[in-house]
Amino acid sequence: MASHVKPKANASALYLYGVTQKKVALAAGVVGVDSTTSIEPLECEGLVCWISRVDKGAFADNLASKLENLDWLTETSMRHQQVASAIAEHTEILPARLGTLFLSASSLEADVRKNKRVLEADFARVKDSEEWGVKVFAVTAKPESPPEPMKSGREYLKAKAAMLQRPAVRETDSEVEKFAKALRRIAVRTAAGGQISGAQRGLKWQISLLLKRGDRKKLESLLQKFSEEWAEVRKIEITGPWPPYSFVTRAHAGPRGNG
């Protein structure tokens, strides 16, 4: 009699997109970083962890080398951001760092238990708020291919990946400092712009703002005021709103647990 052996399923890992304080209903069509698996809310210590079950070999194994592959990084970053943004449309989310994986539900729950006080403090910080990115560019008489505003998450993340290894720009002047002080007055918190986009041509200064949703008109008013004052001298670019990537406490990211 012939024996029938069921093929062994690929080992899976839990890919974490972020943590919320409640469950929400996501729109149909929101899928995980592998473009096929569904997004699941997993209750952990009174919070909700948003995960998808991915192939361990494709994501958890040799993660460090995968993060150095710009094609893989760009596509995975875009899908990660899309999921986090879809959740953020309904409730505050503490977005996880790209490539945060757990090898079991128990290891994820243990991590949440260990960091629960930090998570609760982060929720208090980002309540009713969203992240915006602001950049100031110098405008020259004959600009060479001036940077175009990045309107989509895909454009934003591709730019991030393409400039991953370049140094940041730290040039400022008194007018930019005045603009910076005005932004800080209306923001809950600010974070310095990172190294990733620092090499864009003409970039003089950048910042990330954590802004209350109710203060969006204040931001729009400031942008209009300085844009008019700086016409033909400086150009302001803004992206957002984003989940508060720059304003959550970052614990160790990487595969955890024994399966």
pLDDT tens profile 87-120: 999 999 999 998 899 989 999 999 999 999 999 9
Nearest partner of 133 among 79, 83, 200, judged by Cα:
200
Nearest partner of 99 among 14, 156, 40, judged by Cα:
14
CATH number of 129-244: 3.30.70
Confidence band of 141 (pLDDT split at 50, 70, 90)? low
- Top-confidence residue, 173 or 190: 190
Tens of pLDDT along 49-66? 999 998 887 777 777 777
Are 82 and 62 within 8 A, CB to CB?
no
Per-residue pLDDT at 5: 35
What lies within 8 Å, CB to CB, of 38 at 6+ separation is 31, 32, 52
Chain region(s) in the chain for CATH 3.30.70: 129-244
Instruction: Give the CA distances from residue 199 to residues 78, 168, 255, in Å, rounded to whole numbers and listed in that order.
Output: 21, 6, 32
> In the chain, where does DSSP find H-type helix?
56-59, 63-67, 70-88, 105-114, 116-126, 153-162, 174-186, 216-229
